[in-house]
Structure 1
Amino acid sequence: MSESEIGPNRVTATGARGAAATLSPATNHRTPGVADAPGGVRRPGLILATLLVGYFMALLDGSIVNVALPSIREKLHANGASLQMVAAGYIIAYAVLLVTGARLGRILGHERLFKAGLAGFTIASLACGLAQNSGELIIFRVIQGIAAAVMLPQVLSLIQQTFQGEARAKAMSAWTAVLASGIVVGQVLGGVLVTANLFGWSWRPVFLVNVPIGIVLWIASIRALPSVKPQNSAANNKVDLAGVLTLSPTILALVVPLVLGHDEHWPIWGWVLLAATVPLLVLFLAVERRVARRGDSPILPGRILEMSGMKPSLVLIFLVMVVYAGNLFATAIHLQGALGFSALKTGLAFAPCALAFGLVSYFWRNIPAHLIRRFSVIGLVIGAASMAAQIWMFKDGGYGGVWFYLNQMVFGLGVGIGNAPTMTLALMRVPVTEAADASGTLATNAQLAQVVGIASLGTLYLTVAAGHAVHAAGQAMAYLSGAGVVVTLVAVGFAYYLYNLDKHERAAKAAAAL
């Protein structure tokens, strides 16, 4: 990757850090409309902390509930399908509306949407913590997801438009670390809160903890966030309502049967919905092409997808996040339900993975630029090997003891090396003016992958674990781990393709320079 150009950004041989920090004049400027104090960004530390803590809080809620599921089952008498909907309902709403949230930020102003989403998220968290039955909890989780979809796309856009040069590179690395580690840290924090049983509230502090944090962040956002004028234009001043109305049923047709199928004994309507996913997807793509031909901006922007390396990057990220989210969901249930771990012990079991994933995601820029893609391939091979090791650990009803914790660290290390650079390098190809749509597309892709991972791998685990064989739950984890190996190896193929794509681009640019 040395001596090459990625989109508008010039990448030098100084390494990945230089790639993110050294920008061409086309992007190394202050976006019009950003309010700054003379001499630069006002309170940059407070701005970044406000954005990233809000982002982290919303990401945590995608997984913090996993460790609390057994307590929710006991206190609210919830069945398996309800538990999956408590976990997946938030992510479904979040995933479906993320790109729309990004578009609304362009229309109404990113800082306005961040504050509105933060307020909604805080109120919905309070409602979740006070829910009296599983139905109420699922509804409030969906509302929470909608608020997160309004808030989160604004974070990267505000970072892109507020920071410059090395400050922007550091801010984006911090954002990537938060994105990568938020899911696992949620499991750890969930275990701590459930075990603490604050005020005798059992699982409720998992949601109520967001309330004081949200209030503090909302006050900080009023004081710190720069005012960004809406980026209205003829093509971008509309929400793609047709796209939302066709994408939403497509996702629901895929996810709902996977989530409810096990508890409903795989009824005919579930198979009908799964079969309908294909024509619904075709309809969605046709609608998007029509929106683009009219000169409007579709929810799935073709100009973003056509950027070099974007499509394989999206597929790679999707596959990795399917394995990541599905494995965490099933492992949390298995450790508590089958092996009798406490919520605290279950949460702390994921700490090595969280630490490795977070550190790799922040410090990967120190890898020499020409080795980044090669490291991505190696990292995913390590991740596949780690999933394979889980088969041995779980199949006979145990969990591997100390080897399990070491394997969690190896898994976090491998998947972090494979995934974090892919996300950031994909965004580096995108001009600042396209940051909102690009970040929305990438984040939507990652969140949809989590939904599919929880629904598909979670269903696989629950189905096999319900059998009557000796160590059925252990065998379920072995089957899940085997599926994870296969999916991760497919991701290795896409990482290898991206590695060769970069080599070919470097060669083509070198030849053009002669």
Structure 2
Amino acid sequence: MTDLQTRPAVAAAAPGGPRPGALLTLILAGQLMAVLDIAIVNVAVPTIRADLHATGAALQLVVAGYTIAYAVLLITGARLGARYGYARLFRYGLAGFTAASLACGLAPGTEALIGFRVLQGVGAAVMVPQVMSLIQRTFTGPARVRALGLYSAVLAGGMAAGQVLGGLLVSADLFGAGWRPVFLVNVPLGVALLLAGRRLLPAAPGDPGRRFDVPGLVVLALALGLLVVPLVLGHELGWPAWGWVMLAGSGVLFAVFAAVERRVAARGGQPLVPARVLRAPGLLPAAGAVFLVMAGFAGFMFAFALHQQAGLGHSALKAGLLSAPVAVGFGLSSLHWQRLPARLHRVLPVLALALVAPAYLATGWLLRDGGPVDLVAELVLTGLGLAAGCAYSPLFGRALARVDPADAADASGVVVTLVQLGQVVGVAVLGTVFLGRVRFPATAAASGHALWTADAVITGALVLAALSALAGTRNRGKVN
């Protein structure tokens, strides 16, 4: 973070305000909390089941309630930030997330835990879009690229760290609390960030003149809900008929949303997603590639964790530690890709995707017979993470590089929502592919072949990502 503080940056705050580096540390810590809570709870599920005598369906909602609320409300959270102020909404979201974490840790039963998990997701959806908006409005040029690299590293590191931290906390059984510390760990951090935020967050007002596109908000939230709920729960419930009905309904509502937005714009109103945002140079091809990269990455992490725990018999902690090289590689390359020769920056995402696609195949091939995750596999996994980060981080920066600062909130909401949907779709699709090829209790060989199949599907998705990245490369020069 010291490097960030010493490089050129444009602060949105008034002269004499907080240093951009300190502000970035604060908001990325909030982002990390939100990312951790997607993964950390998975490790605690068996202990929650035993302690609360929860049914399988209830446990699915404990895990999925957070993700559903988070993904559905991200764009709404971005619009709230634009109207009432990004810093204010970051504080409100952080406070809600922290309070809900405390409530989850003290929940007396399964039903209460599910409700508080949904509230956690709401808090995250209010807080997270403000992170990207504050980055967009605080940093420019190379400083923005580095800030986006740190943002990408947090996203990647949070996935692996969630599993490792969850395993440590559950295994430690602090004060005999079992699973509860996986939620309570957020409370002291959240309080500390709230106190620091009073000094570090800029006192920038929102734009009260921004009217809410209420019909657009309602239709989009419903469309996203109909999409996310079956994707999150479908593979666990055997893809029931209602799930397919919801998916079809989401397509209809997305078409309705587009019609509503056109009508709002024609009447001189302020649509939820202005057409000029989607027309920003490079946004759509880069965002599409980011979606596919995150779908592959999240889906692989999910399938790889299942293979280790169900096929190889590893503990959740060991599985998290063996998955760490992927996330560490992703985070390191997200931070430092801009140190590569400048002549490579324009084509770097395409080159990186050309490497990461066969790396997924190589991983599946090495582990297809159920052998141990040896040194060779770990080296391939590290390379996979490095290449994925070299694709993701510059693509993320490219998607937002030419967006007008006035549209930062709307563009951030769109791109971050696509990142979250990519994770949801990746886990749902790759989870279905993996689970469809293996029956439990599984042998190591059967699990390895299921992982090999899932990796082949990821490779196909990354070929599409490379084509999308190439289309964006033809229309833009250097990432800035």
Tell me, yes or no, whether TM beats 0.5.
Answer: yes
* Structure 2 CA distance for aligned equivalents of residues 192 and 105 of structure 1: 35
Partner of residue 101 from structure 2, selected from 108, 112, 125: 125
Give the distance between the partners of 1:353 and 1:108, measured in 2 at CA.
38
Deviation at 1:67, TM superposition (A): 3.3
With over 3 angstroms needed to count, the CA separation of the structure-2 counterparts of 1:126 and 1:332, relative to structure 1, is farther
3-state SS, counterpart of residue 437 of structure 2? helix
> What is the distance in 2 between the residues matched to 1:440 and 1:343?
33
Q: Bigger shift: 132-141 or 412-421?
A: 132-141
Query: TM-score normalized by structure 2?
Result: 0.90
Match of 1:454 among 415, 424, 427: 427
- When normalised by structure 1's length, the TM-score is 0.84
Q: SS state of the match for residue 501, structure 1?
A: coil
Indicate conservation of the 8 Å contact 2:148/2:396, yes or no. no
Matched to 1:278, the amino acid is G
Q: Secondary structure at the match of 1:203?
A: coil
Query: Are residues 138 and 453 of structure 1, via their aligned partners in 2, closer, same or farther at CA, if it must alter by over 3 Å?
Result: farther
What corresponds to 1:500 in structure 2?
474
Give unmatched runs, 5+ long, in structure 2. none
Deviation at 1:442, TM superposition (A): 0.8
Which residue of structure 1 aligns with residue 256 of structure 2? 283
How big is the alpha-carbon RMSD for the aligned residues of Structure 1 and Structure 2?
Answer: 2.7
Q: Which residue number corresponds to residue 320 of structure 1?
A: 293
Per the alignment, residue 413 of structure 1 pairs with 386
Q: Does 1:487 align with 2:461?
A: yes
CA shift for structure 1 position 111:
1.4
Give the equivalent residue in structure 2 for 1:8: none
Supply the distance in 2 between the matched residues of 1:29 and 1:390 (Cα, whole angstroms).
42
What amino acid is aligned across from residue 431 of structure 1 in structure 2? Answer: D
Count of residues paired in the alignment = 473
* Cα displacement (A) at 1:154: 1.5
Aligned partner letter, 2:212: V
Aligned equivalents of 1:252 and 1:363: distance in 2?
A: 36
What is the CA distance between 1:101 and its match in structure 2?
A: 1.1
Cα drift, residue 127 of structure 1: 2.0
Q: How do 1:12-23 residues align onto structure 2 when only pairs under 5 Å count?
A: none
- Seq. identity, %: 48
**Structure 2 counterpart of 1:146:** 122
**Aligned equivalents of 2:142, 2:473: Cα separation in 1:** 25
Per the alignment, residue 225 of structure 1 pairs with: 201
Judged with a 3 Å threshold, the aligned counterparts in structure 2 of structure 1 residues 474 and 153 are, in CA distance, closer, same or farther, namely same
Contact 2:41/2:166, CA 8 A, preserved across alignment: yes
Distance 1:80 1:312, change over 3 A: farther
Counterpart-to-counterpart distance in 1, 2:318 and 2:76: 39
What is the letter of the counterpart of residue 330 of structure 1? A
> Does the 8 A contact of 1:59 with 1:183 survive in 2?
yes
**Counterpart amino acid of residue 164 in structure 2:** V
Tell me, in whole angstroms, the C-alpha distance in 2 between the residues paired with 1:285 and 1:184: 37
Instruction: Describe the SS at the equivalent of 1:465.
Output: coil
Q: In the alignment, what sits opposite 1:36?
A: 15
> Does residue 392 in structure 1 map to residue 365 in structure 2?
yes
SS at match of 1:315: helix
**Letter matched to residue 491 of structure 1:** A
Q: Does 1:240 align with 2:204?
A: no
**Preserved CA contact (<8 Å) 1:88 1:454:** no
- Residue pair 1:68, 1:343 contacting (<8 A) in 2 also: no
Deviations 1:139-185 (A, max 9, x none): 32221111011111212322333456665554344333323433233
In structure 2, the partner of 1:157 is 133
Relative distance call for 1:401 and 1:261 in structure 2 (3 A) is same
Matching residue within 374, 378, 384 for 1:401? 374
Q: Which amino acid aligns with 2:44?
A: A
Aligned to 2:316: 343
CA contact (8 A) 1:70 1:336 kept: no
- The whole-number CA distance in structure 2 between the counterparts of 1:132 and 1:330 is 32
- Deviation of 1:412 after TM superposition, in Å, equals 0.8
Q: Structure 1: which 5+ runs fail to align?
A: 1-16, 23-27, 507-514
Contact 1:180 1:420 in 2 (8 A): no
